[in-house]
Structure 1
Amino acid sequence: MTQATNSNSLQEILGRIHDSVITDATGEVANYIPQLGCVDPNKFGMHLTTLEGAEYGIGNNDERFSIQSITKVLLLAQAKLEIGSELKQRVGVEPSGDPFNSLVQLEYERGVPRNPMINAGAIVICDILIELFDNPKRDYLSFVRKLAGCETIEFDLSTAASESSCGYRNRSIVNLMKSFGNIRCDIDEVLDLYFHACSISMSCRELAQTFSTFANAGSLVKTGERILSLRRTKRINALMQTCGLYDESGEFAFRV
């Protein structure tokens, strides 16, 4: 297959997917955070970045939105970059089989989250980053910008404030872990970093560029600069597959 034919085929695939789902009105926007409930449900975008650096997009692929739980992978990557295997002492690597914000298993396992992809795991990582950096919000945003190759990426402050105003379950989670000694920093500071990390606003294009690094063995596709070791990248990818879709991860792996 020639490069031109391959390019046309990939764009056509995106077009077919777009046409097949754009008229489906059965979905609902998330409403557990008030600001997310204001998002236009008719928005739809996709973007693909290949390991050769080619890009294909369709729909609202350049429109930014708060990345929410996608941020958990990037929090994990920064923590892995800083402390490596020490992270496993604070956060496990096993699928939970429970909803992303469950407290039941967390109490049974004495405040140690099953994996970094559930809320509790990401919150512990925020606690670790606060211990490591003088200005963790600034340093995390800089890390995300580097992966995305874009210096204009910012926190969505209105979404962060909205999530903070109703984050009762996350407050329960962090207090429970604090009672077991697995949160070491100030609870409000930990949650502030977590809510801001979830609020980061990115487009499909920027996310595709960001995650191409994980497909490219830990190196930036456009420059070749190594960000993560091959070993750490493999482990992050493994956690995305086994835990990244929460209690649907097994179903996705089986079907796809």
Structure 2
Amino acid sequence: MFAVPQLRSLVTDIADEMRARTDRGRIADYIPELARVDPGFFGMAVALPDGTVVTAGDAETPFSIQSISKVFTLTLALGIAGDRLWKRVGREPSGTAFNSIVQLESEKGVPRNPFINAGAIAVTDVILAGHKPSVALGEILRFMRFLSDDQTVTIDKAVAESEQRTGFRNMALANYMKSFGVIENPVDYTLGVYFHHCAIAMSCRQLALAGRFLAHSGRNPDTGHSVISSERARRINAIMLTCGHYDGSGDFAYRVGLPGKSGVGGGILAIVPGQASIAVWSPGLDDAGNSHLGRIALEAFAKRSGVSIFGA
């Protein structure tokens, strides 16, 4: 377990190092609202079982969590459909870009995994399940507020509208899957919910707290109550490790050695099983669409603290 004084010193040191770096990656400028974000931000938060959250840098500044939301929509969809979900989406790494359409044609419209865009759209369709989009979106937002114990978590409507205006590739993915029957609801409804849950805005502190159940066998460590079963938490962590960083997932596992999920808003949620959940945010991305400094910071954290699912 982490000792708080040493952990505070480690997180502060890493944040200072990251903020001093000039190699910051490239902002996700294909989403107009995200193109406006200052690349100089860096935040980090580590949430411990007793509710202590150690933070540094811009850890209290909300940002668009983007694809990190897919961890939480996957959790909800598994609660709705159970293992039937895996008939509509796979569990294998894609080896292609997060918004690629290439594999859908050869694999009959079934996305490789729930974390690429096509897979997350299919998962969103399961949550929609014939409901009004506002009902499904409200359920997702309530879940995020419950997990983070923070009713101020909200959706950045400007980001959602920006994505809806420019998300032509996602529209193509959804319509293509619809042609195979993988998408069951009206495409516009499913995409509307998808764009809005990707536009949820959270700080590193809030996100680290929301991820704690995955670090503690599916339980809320504050209450001891189960959010999901320990088996399901283990399986979600496994998919995070193998698929959480698109075609950079293998490199992240090699360098960091922790389950993680990135988003093109520059955030990463990482899980230290049994010990902590970690959120980092730096808006500049690498070529695979993952936070450049976020990955470097987590690699430094894993090395210096000796945490890895593969051993020290």
- Distance in structure 1 (CA, Å) of the matches to 2:116 and 2:157: 22
- Of the three residues 5, 9, 13, the one matched with 1:8 is 5
1:5-32 C-alpha deviation (Å, 9 max, x unpaired): x211101111111121112232222111
Does the Cα contact within 8 Å between 2:45 and 2:208 map onto a contact in 1?
Answer: yes
- Distance in structure 2 (CA, Å) of the matches to 1:206 and 1:38: 22
Report the count of equivalent residues: 253
Higher mean displacement: 128-137 or 104-113: 128-137
Correspondence 1:158 to 2:158: yes
Correspondence 1:80 to 2:78: yes
* Letter of the 2:98 counterpart: F
- Distance in structure 1 (CA, Å) of the matches to 2:16 and 2:156: 30
- Of the three residues 43, 47, 50, the one matched with 1:52 is 50
Higher mean displacement: 67-76 or 13-22: 13-22
- Distance in structure 2 (CA, Å) of the matches to 1:132 and 1:250: 36
Please name the residue that 2:98 is paired with.
100
Please name the residue that 1:19 is paired with.
16
1:122-165 C-alpha deviation (Å, 9 max, x unpaired): 00011111116451011111111111111121111000000111
Does the Cα contact within 8 Å between 2:99 and 2:170 map onto a contact in 1?
Answer: yes
Does the Cα contact within 8 Å between 1:91 and 1:124 map onto a contact in 2?
Answer: yes
Please name the residue that 2:27 is paired with.
29
- Distance in structure 2 (CA, Å) of the matches to 1:80 and 1:231: 12
Root-mean-square deviation over aligned CA pairs: 1.3
Does the Cα contact within 8 Å between 1:133 and 1:139 map onto a contact in 2?
Answer: no
* Letter of the 2:6 counterpart: S
* Letter of the 2:195 counterpart: F
Please name the residue that 1:125 is paired with.
123
Give the TM-score normalised by the residue count of structure 1.
Answer: 0.95
Please name the residue that 1:228 is paired with.
228
Give, in angstroms, the shift of residue 188 of structure 1.
0.6
Partner SS for 2:33: helix
Does the Cα contact within 8 Å between 1:212 and 1:220 map onto a contact in 2?
Answer: yes
- Distance in structure 2 (CA, Å) of the matches to 1:139 and 1:20: 39
- Distance in structure 2 (CA, Å) of the matches to 1:133 and 1:239: 27
- Distance in structure 2 (CA, Å) of the matches to 1:204 and 1:148: 11
- Distance in structure 1 (CA, Å) of the matches to 2:148 and 2:12: 24
Does the Cα contact within 8 Å between 2:218 and 2:227 map onto a contact in 1?
Answer: yes
* Letter of the 1:93 counterpart: R
Does the Cα contact within 8 Å between 2:12 and 2:57 map onto a contact in 1?
Answer: no
Correspondence 1:90 to 2:88: yes
Greater fraction helix: 1
Partner SS for 1:56: strand
Give, in angstroms, the shift of residue 72 of structure 1.
0.6
Correspondence 1:68 to 2:66: yes
